[in-house]
């Protein structure tokens, strides 16, 4: 669900094919971790079972999300000015490197738990006992409404002049620039906005799982974000959302489905998860091309038919 927000925004990026979006996600999570640690004195004294006062918890959550979004946005601004001269494939690699840097810094910084990860107390509700359902519902509602806000915001941008600018850049950046659109600045703006949403999502992720580790923000865990966008066809917000939902559903049922054949199959699939992801990606890239070929042939046949009829 969190991925949804990000992938939506990834799609937004005008010709900035970033593979490092999970870096901003991680950055947001760690910004939230730092904020939490700063506000709540000594981690040794934390009672991990007991939630805070609800109002305080809610405030802290909001502050964390803001902190995550702000930090991610600031870094994105910095990166976009650094990367503005890098184009194409090199940009992709640079974003990947950035995400890897976030991960390795987190892994070596003891203040946020280092490689072992960082655990925070439950903020508002606990997962224990009867409150488990409320806990789940609270975050589900929160995330859904945030998704809705982002969706509506993107839609409104899409219908404004900026939507046209973005379409123009996607079609022909040179012609867009010479029509008066500040391409680099708009790209940077979109990059920053996307990063801010990812950062906010990261902060929520921390408080939802209450335990994060640097490995959560590895490349393989970032891949589904890209997958959602590619699967959704890059530009249409609705398709990207649908694709992400389908993919998430697949992730969830995958283990159970193969578990039917016996627990050892379930484990086998879990072991081969990454390989499957790879196959999945390849299929996605190849299938539409194959389908299009089929379509073209069919279409050509139809047109021949209509010409014959006309005669």
Partner 1 sequence: MLGETSAPCASSEVLLHVEKISHEFAGLQALSNVSMRARRGEIIGLIGPNGSGKTTLFNLITGVYAARHGRIFFEGHDITGMPGHHIASAGIMRTFQNPRIFASLGLVEHLVIPMWAVSRPVSFIDLVRQMSMPWRSLAPAAEKILQSITALTSVDEIPASALSYGRRRLLELARCLASSPRLLLLDEPTAGLNPNEACEVHALLERLAASLGLAMIVIDHNVDFIERLCSRLVVLVNGCIIRDGPGEEVLRDPRVVAAYYGER
Which residues lie near partner 1 (CB under 8 A)? Answer: 153, 156-157, 159-165, 167-168, 170-172, 174-186, 189
CB of residue 219 vs partner 1: minimum separation in angstroms?
30
Could you tell me which of 25, 20, 23 has the C-alpha nearest to residue 2? Answer: 25
State the Cα–Cα distance between residues 127 and 82, nearest whole angstrom: 43
DSSP 8-state code for residue 236? -
CB of residue 256 vs partner 1: minimum separation in angstroms?
41
In the complex with partner 1, which residue's Cβ is closer, 49 or 172?
Answer: 172
CB of residue 286 vs partner 1: minimum separation in angstroms?
24
In the complex with partner 1, which residue's Cβ is closer, 167 or 294?
Answer: 167
CB 247 within 8 A of CB 227: yes
CB of residue 80 vs partner 1: minimum separation in angstroms?
13
In the complex with partner 1, which residue's Cβ is closer, 1 or 157?
Answer: 157
In the complex with partner 1, which residue's Cβ is closer, 19 or 176?
Answer: 176
CB of residue 88 vs partner 1: minimum separation in angstroms?
18
In the complex with partner 1, which residue's Cβ is closer, 234 or 276?
Answer: 234
- Number of Cα atoms under 13 Å in the Cβ half of residue 217: 36
Q: Look up residue 79 and give its two tokens.
A: 């990166």
Q: What's the Cα-to-Cα distance from 232 to each of 50, 81, 253, rounded to whole Å?
A: 41, 29, 20
CB of residue 171 vs partner 1: minimum separation in angstroms?
4
Q: Name residue, tokens 């199959």.
A: 265
CB of residue 233 vs partner 1: minimum separation in angstroms?
12
Pairing, β 211-212 against β 118-119 = antiparallel
CB 258 within 8 A of CB 266: yes
Q: Look up residue 271 and give its two tokens.
A: 């072991």
In the complex with partner 1, which residue's Cβ is closer, 190 or 213?
Answer: 190
- Is the Cα torsion angle 264, 266, 271, 276 positive or negative in sign? positive
State the Cα–Cα distance between residues 227 and 217, nearest whole angstrom: 16
In the complex with partner 1, which residue's Cβ is closer, 111 or 295?
Answer: 295
């Amino acid at each position: 669900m969190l991925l949804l927000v990000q992938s939506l925004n990834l799609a937004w990026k005008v010709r900035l094919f970033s593979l490092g979006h999970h870096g901003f996600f991680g950055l947001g999570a760690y910004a939230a971790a730092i904020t939490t640690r700063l506000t709540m004195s000594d981690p040794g004294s934390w009672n991990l079972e007991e939630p805070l006062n609800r109002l305080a918890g809610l405030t802290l959550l909001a502050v964390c999300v803001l902190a995550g979004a702000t930090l991610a946005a600031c870094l994105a601004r910095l990166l976009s000015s650094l990367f503005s001269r890098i184009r194409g494939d090199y940009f992709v690699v640079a974003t990947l490197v950035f995400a890897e840097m976030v991960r390795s810094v987190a892994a070596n910084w003891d203040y946020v738990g280092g490689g072992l990860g960082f655990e925070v107390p439950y903020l508002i509700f606990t997962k224990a006992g009867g409150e488990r359902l409320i806990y789940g519902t609270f975050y589900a509602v929160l995330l859904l409404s945030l998704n809705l806000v982002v969706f509506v915001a993107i839609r409104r941008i899409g219908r404004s002049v900026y939507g046209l600018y973005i379409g123009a850049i996607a079609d022909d950046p040179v012609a867009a620039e010479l029509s008066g659109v500040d391409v680099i600045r708009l790209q940077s703006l979109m990059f920053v906005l996307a990063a801010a949403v990812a950062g906010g999502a990261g902060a929520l992720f921390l408080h939802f799982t209450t335990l994060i580790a640097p490995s959560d923000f590895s490349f393989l865990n970032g891949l589904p974000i890209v997958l959602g966008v590619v699967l959704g066809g890059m530009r249409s917000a609705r398709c990207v959302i649908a694709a992400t939902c389908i993919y998430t559903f697949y992730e969830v049922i995958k283990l159970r489905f193969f578990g039917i054949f016996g627990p050892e199959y379930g484990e086998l699939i879990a072991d081969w998860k990454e390989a499957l992801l790879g196959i999945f990606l390849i299929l996605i890239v190849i299938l539409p091309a194959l389908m299009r070929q089929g379509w073209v042939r069919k279409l050509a046949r139809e047109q021949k038919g209509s010409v014959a009829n006309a005669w």
